[in-house]
Amino acid sequence: MNLTDVFDPSRGDTVYDLAEVMRSKNAGPLYLTFDMIFPDAAVYRRVRDSDVLTPELVSALYQVDAGDVSIVSFDAANAIKITIPRTGPTSGAPGDRDVYGAQQHEPLIGVRIPPAAQAD
């Protein structure tokens, strides 16, 4: 799957539309973490099981090595957490434009998730 495919409006709903909470924040001075919390188990499973949110996709969106991308699913919380290394200066260093890492989730918001597979 290439980047244009995951943003194609005909593919389904955006992660931003599906999530109740979508945010980024520091995970220490050298990492960023992205939290996506979904309203219920069905929506969460739709996103989790879509195989769209992959280390390769996050790598392409944030220009980091796919091996440095951690994606963890939390079934009990209907949540997905993605952690990547910061690509700019460390948090609070000269030149840091987002000391809290709070505005870094934007590349993920337009990623499209296909409809859940229908049971026969």
Q: Which domain holds residue 34?
A: 3-87
User: Per the domain annotation, does 109 fall within a domain?
Assistant: no
pTM of the model: 0.90
What is the C-alpha separation between 82 and 59, in angstroms, rounded? Answer: 11
Cβ(73)–Cβ(48) under 8 Å? yes
Asked whether residue 20 is domain-assigned, the answer is yes
In a domain, 50, yes or no: yes
Q: Taking a C-beta distance cutoff of 8 angstroms, is the pair 80, 53 a contact? A: yes
For residue 25, tell me if it sits in a domain.
yes
Specify if 67 maps to a domain: yes
Do strands 79-85 and 31-37 pair parallel, antiparallel, or not at all (unpaired)? antiparallel
Domain assignment present for residue 31? The answer is yes
DSSP H helix total and E strand total for the chain: 5, 6
Per-residue pLDDT tens digits for 73-111:
999 999 999 999 998 888 888 888 888 889 899 999 999
- Residue 101 in domain: no
Lowest mean pLDDT of 34-38, 80-84, 88-92, 116-120, name the range.
Answer: 116-120
Where residue 80 sits, what CATH number does that domain have? 3.30.70
